[in-house]
Amino acid sequence: MNTVVTSKEDILKTSRELIQQRGWSAVNIRSVAIACGVSVGSIYNYFDSKAALICTTVESVWCEIFHRPEDSDVFQDTQACITWMYERMEYGCKQYPGFFTMHSLGFMQEEKSDGKRRMQQTWQHILDGLCFVLKQDARIRTDAFTEQFTAEKFADVLFSMMLSALMREDYDATAVLEIVRRTLY
């Protein structure tokens, strides 16, 4: 009997490593158990299905990619935040090739509702962060936002541009930074 004890975080770390080494198809209950050196039952202690394992792994990849930066000034300056986000998108693409495209397309199917919900929660968190930065940035003109053109609406535009860049695997933020500069400063 296997006496190795592992944690949920160890399982997720191993799942992320499997993705990096062999792609998304490598992640299933059995392969993760083998890679962790535990029984299949040990994985089921934390995840009741392969779908639950995959959904939670996807969420952990998003968290790894967009973990809070050590430099909190990133959240005080819109241009610094956008630059950081594009750098993190590039990091995510290099660490997890095809993640963004596969993830967003894969979770649009009906049977993947939990994954889609988690993706939307993550996206909302990023969008909320953009709104926060737009409202905190002391360099933005006081008349930049109006009742019709709010920080929330502009954050939505910026986020749409970010999602488009993700699909194109274009991590050059220059054009977006120019739009921000011309619109807000």
From 107, 105, 94, select the one nearest 57 (Cα to Cα).
107
Q: Which pLDDT value is given to residue 104?
A: 55
Q: What is the mean pLDDT of residues 83-92?
A: 93
pLDDT band at 178 (very low <50, low <70, confident <90, very high): very high
Q: What is the mean pLDDT of the chain?
A: 87
Q: Which one has a higher pLDDT value, 21 or 114?
A: 21
Q: Do residues 96 and 61 touch, judged by C-beta distance below 8 A?
A: yes
Per-residue pLDDT, averaged over 39-55, amounts to 92
The pLDDT of residue 108 is: 46
More reliable by pLDDT, 73 or 38: 38
- Rounded CA-CA distance 13/134 in Å is 33
User: Residues 128-141: what's their mean pLDDT?
Assistant: 94
Model pLDDT, residue 1? 38
User: pTM of the entire structure?
Assistant: 0.82
Two tokens at 104? 């967003």
Residue 38 CB contacts under 8 Å (≥ 6 apart), including other chains: 2, 4, 5, 6
Number of separate helices (H) and strands (E) present in the chain: 9, 0
Query: Can you tell me which residue has the tokens 């905190």?
Result: 136
Kindly report the number of other CB atoms within 10 A of residue 113's CB atom. 12
- State pLDDT tens for residues 106-121: 544 544 566 667 677 8
Task: Enter the DSSP assignment of 49.
Answer: S
State the pLDDT at residue 3.
47
pLDDT surpassing 60 at residue 28:
yes
Contact 106, 115 (CB under 8 A): yes
The pLDDT tens digits of the residues spanning 142-169 come to 999 999 999 999 999 999 999 889 888 8
Percent composition of the chain: helix, strand, coil (DSSP 3-state, to 5): 70, 0, 30
Q: What's the token pair of residue 118?
A: 């988690």
Sign, CA torsion 17/22/28/30 = negative
Domains, the chain, ordered by start: 8-60 (1.10.10.60), 67-184 (no CATH)
